[in-house]
Structure 1
């Protein structure tokens, strides 16, 4: 089940520790009107972005310009495909801006709450299942 107008992407890096770079990512999230979730601190660095197609692609381009170590576009920008009938939680639907978490476990829980846990697991390389 696809959500009209919403796109997302997933990026992996070695780590996200530079507050200067996080500030630039926050500015880009506000400029492009997208929701961003970062896993900051030690390895691995994870970035999730969701919003309109143009905003997601522009935000991903901003990340590329910041030259993160071991940058990998794990899941290219594409329309959001929700799992089953869980879907986006009402509280998440209109959220924008940059949000941070320090644990992979919490990041995974937030992906499950958004209805894209299997997509996230596949992008991270935790699951080899081709079907979502």
Structure 2
């Protein structure tokens, strides 16, 4: 299961904070693309791929534990909770105008038993691309144009445009027309 988050802030220039984002990304095992620099907006696109085996293992663990011996309630670790923890940790860095624009499950090719879901239905799902990189990797870009080119290469551009700017290309609404070349 693939979870993806989109964060927008005013700008990102602090190398110390960017270094902290790198260490948080390694800690949580995400892949992150960042548009940094003085010119607004700053953008973070993060993904956490969480396999169905991991999800099933966590749910079984939760069934066995139910409540802890100390009466403390336990929560299952899922791809979504890991990505939410990463977002929470990045938010603590106190970036100006921090906005979580989207956090969602973008690809669920298997159910919890590991069986493939209906292939025809999956063919209709848009934005099944993945950010390129290894777990814990951060790629930094100086302009929105560079970020958009990288997102297009890995098949995530339409998802990003839809949630960042409200642009729908495949027969849907077009709230705004955005020329990425003008945004450098």
Does the TM-score normalized on the shorter chain lie above 0.5?
A: yes
1:80 aligns with 2:80: no
Shift of 1:55: 2.5
User: Is the CA contact (8 Å cut-off) linking 1:39 and 1:100 kept in structure 2?
Assistant: yes
Shift of 1:128: 5.4
**What CA deviation, in whole Å up to 9, does each residue of 1:11-54 have, x standing for no partner?**
01000001111111111000000001110102110011001323
Residue 167 (structure 2) aligns with: 127
Residue among 44, 49, 69 paired with 2:46 = 49
Unaligned runs of 5+ in 2: 49-78, 108-124, 174-184
**What CA deviation, in whole Å up to 9, does each residue of 1:69-97 have, x standing for no partner?**
0111111x21125636x7348xx264532
Greater C-alpha Rg: 2
Unaligned runs of 5+ in 1: none
1:70 aligns with 2:97: yes
Flag the structure with higher strand content. 1
Residue among 9, 14, 17 paired with 1:18 = 14
Q: Give the TM-score of the pair, scaled to structure 2.
A: 0.60
Residue 61 (structure 1) aligns with: 88
User: Is the CA contact (8 Å cut-off) linking 1:12 and 1:45 kept in structure 2?
Assistant: yes
Residue 9 (structure 1) aligns with: 5
Shift of 1:114: 2.4
The CA distance in 2 between the partners of 1:12 and 1:70, in whole Å, is 8
Residue among 29, 34, 39 paired with 2:30 = 34
Residue among 90, 102, 109 paired with 2:142 = 102
